[in-house]
A and B are shown apart, each in its own frame.
Chain A
Amino acid sequence: MSVLAVIEHDRGTIATASLGVLTAARTLASQMGTTLEAVTVGANADALSSVAAQYGATVVHQAHHSALTDFGPEAWGEAVAQVVKKISPQVVIGTGTERGHEVVAQVAARLDLPASMNCTEFDSAFTGAQPLKVVRARWGGSLLEQAQVDAPIKLVTLANHTVEAVESPDTATNTVHDVELNDSVMHSFVQDRVERVAGVTLATAPVVVSGGRGVGSAEAFAPLEELAGLLGGIVGCSRAVTNNGWRNHTDQVGQTGTRIAPDIYIACGISGAIQHWVGAMASKNILAINTDKEANIVTKAGYAVIGDLHKIVPAISEEIRRRRG
């Protein structure tokens, strides 16, 4: 009897999303009067165990197998499934990330259990006996669904950026599980990696300067690049921009692009359709630059400048240079 947090990590480096998962799992375990436990995949997991203990885990299940040196969705899913089968937790919570969804879906498929992804809330009256009521994000967060997970073991992922990580140190016991992996799960391991050239990424940049249809062309992004450069940030864009072929899809912010959470999001010439908004709404501050003071993005942003981005953006860069002398 426990709530089990699935720790996402990349070759031993814990994913930030795991900390929110541990925090949410601890809250749930405490209301159920049960323990928070965690599961890690791969050897050399003691550092991960310490982090889990820092967030209140009392037992960390380490799934070991000589093949588990890098990420592989099927092998990870199988490893976690074997631990879940062995310890029968009441709830299993994974990260609401690409890997997290994939691993939990693999566990669900292997144990033929339902799974509810991207949960934003769990029933505060849940004790473990009844079906688990959740609120989950649909349409990338444009709509919410009240759903019910009815199974002896409830598998869920926590939508990213919904629970703030809060430490609650405890002492954890490590339990090693030697898992058995057959050939069928060996094919989908990462075979090679191309590391990003140094620099900030859209998902982690402290400043994102984004352009929408209002920018008008690929060339007209140059002033946005300049401003982003001056602020140590990166350029993003809306779906209209990638559809027009002005920028690569890797720059797209939104439901089918990247979810961002910068200190400030500067949205230039973006109307703020809901599918864009859900990708940007975790930003700590939003500054909209738009000719239309009624635009969605302007009404939702904390700050706005009304007018032509083609004149305003260069003026901001100019002012920054002037103050820096």
Chain B
Amino acid sequence: MNILVCVKRVPAPGARINITEDGQAVDTAFLGFTVSPHEECAVEQAVQLVEKHGGEVTVLTLGPAEAEEQLRTAVSVGAARAVLVPITESDWDPQRTAQAIASVITDLENANGKFDLVLFGNESADSCGYQVGIRVALKLGRPMVNGAKGLDIEGSVAKVRRESDAGQEIYMLPMPSAVGVKEGINLPRYPTMKGRLASKKVDVTRTESTGSVGGLKTIQLQRPPERVSNTQILGTGPEAASAVVDLLEELGVFK
């Protein structure tokens, strides 16, 4: 079972996000970087699947040279191989990204055989495009489902579980297939000492690729308007309970 996981280097979420003066990018001066959260879970899922079924996990990223750090992170938690598709711009649009990634995957498969599964994150944490994985899967001619909250292998089929308002939906994709993974599918592990050593030693393959510029163009980033709320303090400590219940009654949520 050979699994490829496509990941993206993104500024570490959790902090306030500032924009550069020209409004073209996120100001990363005071931010760390990480693997986009859904993709961190995709790596974990891939590692769990090869632990169970055998095989090996390859991670691939299209990004700046520094994205090597995120590939090594993936190796530290169990990926065996790492491929960097270097770009000099800060980000490529979704069409261009998908074209470049699909072409690298095709080359890798021509050389080493097909990946049974190609995993993506549901959407990247920073650009939130919801489309690169779907575009790549179509170019590779594989069935694709996004939003996976469960992923198991049953024979030659990838069984995908996804959540909906009504409950859960089950999809059965014959392999080779592609799946977009969502956070919550697992709890990613921490690297072991052995993993850390492996991540230092791994040989990161660099593969140039190109894609034509697509039709979605960033003009400028902006901060959303701050919500200014004249917060009404209902009280301090348990004595405020009565005021809270008055409020609940007033809002019609307590009858």
Name B240's closest neighbour in chain A (CB-CB).
A305
The reply to whether the CB of B197 lies closer than 8 angstroms to some CB of chain A is no
Knowing A141-B224, A187-B174, A323-B245, the reply to whether A148 touches B130 (Cβ < 8 A) is no
- A273-325: which have CB < 8 Å to B? 273-275, 281, 285, 287-288, 293, 298-308, 311-312, 314-316, 318-320, 323
A304 and B234 within 8 A (CB): yes
Knowing A188-B143, A275-B13, the reply to whether A300 touches B134 (Cβ < 8 A) is no
Knowing A191-B170, A193-B169, A299-B231, the reply to whether A102 touches B147 (Cβ < 8 A) is yes
- A235-250: which have CB < 8 Å to B? 242-243, 245, 248-250
B242 and A306 within 8 A (CB): no
Of A255, A275, A303, most B-chain CB atoms within 10 Å = A303
- B94-132: which have CB < 8 Å to A? 94-95, 98, 123, 125-131
Partner of A109, one of B135, B184, B243, B247: B135
- Bound together, the chains give a CA A306 to CA B243 distance in angstroms of 13
The digit string for B160-197, where 1 denotes a CB below 8 A from any CB of A, is: 00111111111111100100001110010000000000
List chain A residues, Cβ under 8 A from B65. none
- Bound together, the chains give a CA A245 to CA B244 distance in angstroms of 30
List chain B residues, Cβ under 8 A from A112. 95
Name A249's closest neighbour in chain B (CB-CB).
B184
Partner of A187, one of B131, B143, B236: B143
B166 and A193 within 8 A (CB): yes
A223 → chain B closest CB, angstroms: 12
The reply to whether the CB of B218 lies closer than 8 angstroms to some CB of chain A is yes
- A192-210: which have CB < 8 Å to B? 192-196, 201, 203-204, 206-207
B130 and A117 within 8 A (CB): yes
A10 → chain B closest CB, angstroms: 7
- Bound together, the chains give a CA A188 to CA B170 distance in angstroms of 10
A319 and B229 within 8 A (CB): no
- Bound together, the chains give a CA A71 to CA B167 distance in angstroms of 14
B145 and A188 within 8 A (CB): yes
A139 → chain B closest CB, angstroms: 6
Partner of A146, one of B173, B222, B229, B231: B222
List chain B residues, Cβ under 8 A from A273. 14-15
A264 and B138 within 8 A (CB): no
Interface SS, A side: mixed
Chain B, interface size category, equals 35 or more
Stretch with Cβ within 8 A of A (4 or more), from B46-54, B66-74, B76-84, B209-217: B209-217
Knowing A149-B215, A299-B231, A302-B231, the reply to whether A184 touches B143 (Cβ < 8 A) is yes
The reply to whether the CB of A105 lies closer than 8 angstroms to some CB of chain B is yes
B95 and A307 within 8 A (CB): no
- Bound together, the chains give a CA A183 to CA B214 distance in angstroms of 29
A146 and B134 within 8 A (CB): no
- Bound together, the chains give a CA A10 to CA B93 distance in angstroms of 31
A213 → chain B closest CB, angstroms: 12
B236 and A307 within 8 A (CB): yes
The reply to whether the CB of A218 lies closer than 8 angstroms to some CB of chain B is no
The reply to whether the CB of A180 lies closer than 8 angstroms to some CB of chain B is no
Chain B residues within CB distance 8 Å of chain A: 13-17, 19, 26, 37-38, 93-95, 98, 123, 125-131, 134-135, 138-139, 141, 143-147, 162-174, 177, 182-184, 187, 214-224, 227, 229, 231-245, 247-248, 251-254
Q: List 7 A-B contacts (CB under 8 A).
A: A73-B134, A98-B162, A101-B146, A105-B134, A109-B98, A191-B171, A323-B245
5 tightest Cβ-Cβ pairs between the two chains A and B:
A249-B184, A114-B215, A315-B238, A315-B241, A105-B131
